[in-house]
Structure 1
Amino acid sequence: MGLVEKVTEVLYEVIDPELGINIVDLGLIYKVDVKENNDVIVTMTLTTPGCPLHDSIVGGVESAIYFLDEVGKVDVQLVWKPAWTPEKMSDKAKTVLMG
C-alpha cells in the first residue's frame, strides 16, 4: 500500500464531531499528495466556512497523518472552492444522515 492510500485510510478515523461521521465519507477530503521526501499535503474543505470546529478537525487530520512513521511534514490546505455540498458524501454517509 502506498503512502497516499495509508494517509487516506487513517483519515477515516477523523470524525466530524457535529455529525459523527468520518471526514472521508463526508466528502471533505479533496486530494492527498505526497512529495518525494514523504511530506504530505492534504487539500480539504469543511461543511461551512464558519465551522466552529475548524481547529479541531484540522488538528485531527494532522494528528492522524503524523501517526504514520514514514510521514515527513504535514500541510493541511483548507479550501472553499469547490464548495462542499451533501452530494459529495459517500452513500454510507448519506444513509446515516438522511436515512
Structure 2
Amino acid sequence: MRKSRTAVIDVHEHRRVVELLRRILDPELGVNIVDLGLIYGIRIDEDEVRVEMTMTTPACPLASYLRDNIRSVLQNHAPEKTVTVDVIWEPPWSPSHMSEAAYLLLGGK
C-alpha cells in the first residue's frame, strides 16, 4: 500500500516538531525536554499542533516556563496553527522515560 502525500508530510512535520522541542532545555538540568522524557505525545493537524507533556514533579517550578517556551518555538515554526500544550500526569514521569544519553549525562549507570 502506498502512503498518501499527507501521511508523508505529517511524518516530516512530526520529525521537525521533535527537532524543535529538542532545542528547549530544562534550565535546572541542562538537558532537552525530549531526552528527559517529558514529551508524551505530539498531534499535528490542519490548524493545530498539540503537545502532551509532563513534568518531573507536580510541584515543578518550571512548568509555566517550559509550556511558554514550547508554545513560542512551535508558534514561530507554524504561525498559521494554534499551539496547545497539555500537561498530563499519567503515567507519572520517572527516570526510565529519559533517553540513554540523558540518563548517562545526569549520572545514571
- Report which of the two has the higher share of helix: 2
Contact 2:50 2:84 in 1 (8 A): yes
Match of 1:27 among 16, 34, 37: 37
Bigger RCO of structures 1 and 2 (CA < 8 A, at least 6 apart): 1
Which ranges in structure 1 are unaligned for 5 or more consecutive residues?
Answer: none
State the aligned residue count: 98
Give the structure with higher Rg (CA).
2
Which ranges in structure 2 are unaligned for 5 or more consecutive residues?
Answer: 1-10
What is the alpha-carbon root mean square deviation over aligned residues?
Answer: 1.4
In the TM superposition, what whole-angstrom CA distance separates every residue of 1:38-92 from its partner, at most 9, and x where no partner exists?
A: x100000010001011111111111111121465000000000000000000011
Runs of 4+ in 1 over 3 A off after TM superposition: none
Alignment pair present for 1:7 and 2:17: yes
The 1:12–1:71 alpha-carbon spacing in structure 2 relative to 1, beyond 3 Å, is farther
The alignment-based identity, stated in percent, is: 41
TM-score normalised by structure 2 residue count: 0.84
